[in-house]
Amino acid sequence: MNSVASKTWGRRVGFGASPALVVVDFTIAFTEPGRALGSDVSSAIAATNDLLDVSHASNWPVLFTAIAYSDPNFADAGMWLAKVGGQEDLRAGSDGVDVDPRLNRTAQDTVIIKKYASAFFGTDLSSRLVTSNVDTVLITGCSTSGCVRATAVDAIQHGFRPIVVREAVADRWEDAHKQALKDLDAKYADVVSLQEALEYLQRNSGIEGLVAARD
């Protein structure tokens, strides 16, 4: 990268003082291989659990998202229905919209129902974060090139510091995953390691050494 480009792209937004963890669409429709929309995201779930454990111990806000359609004809899916199939597994009330049981979710965690890619679009996520004085959004989930990317873009547009945790996001297509991480880190978010994210959460909570990143 030349000197001009290095001053233009990929600058750090940095960590703020008050984080929240947003877990994007780790629901069974997306996390169970063999389903129409599913793929193997086991490694990213394990990394997300490390972040969940520290966030819960530190009383940082934790919010999960799930895509769910309640209209019998999927009218609430809009034009997305014309572009992507598999929505039958996202029908409200089906097990496809349930948060993956492998995740260390607690009763205090919020589940935000959304219709489209971004966790912010058409939801009250932004107002919830503002009310909790959050300035930094740590993002995990799937898919990196889709809903994770859209959420990070909207996070920075809403004035939050988006932090995408590399080991805690996944995509059904490896090339799309890698390109999305590169693009996000260049323009919309800081892409950081799991270790960096854990150290940040621990440092801000005053709890040192609670969880170590997996090898």
What domains are there in the chain, each with its CATH number? 16-203 (3.40.50.850)
pLDDT > 80? residue 3:
no
Distances (CA, A) of 99 to 110, 148, 191, 213: 11, 16, 24, 23
DSSP E strands, 27-120: 62-67, 110-114
Query: How distant, in Å, are the alpha carbons of 5, 69, 150, 152, 204 from that of 72?
Result: 50, 8, 26, 30, 45
pLDDT at 192: 98
Answer with the residue of higher pLDDT: 163 or 209: 163
Length of the chain: 215
User: pLDDT at residue 156 above 70?
Assistant: yes
Mean pLDDT for the chain overall: 93
For this structure, is 142 an active site residue?
no
Mean pLDDT of 137-160: 98
Q: Which of 45, 147, 150, 201 is catalytic?
A: 147
Rounded Cα gap, residues 48 and 22, in angstroms: 10
Give the pLDDT band of residue 60 (cuts 50, 70, 90).
very high
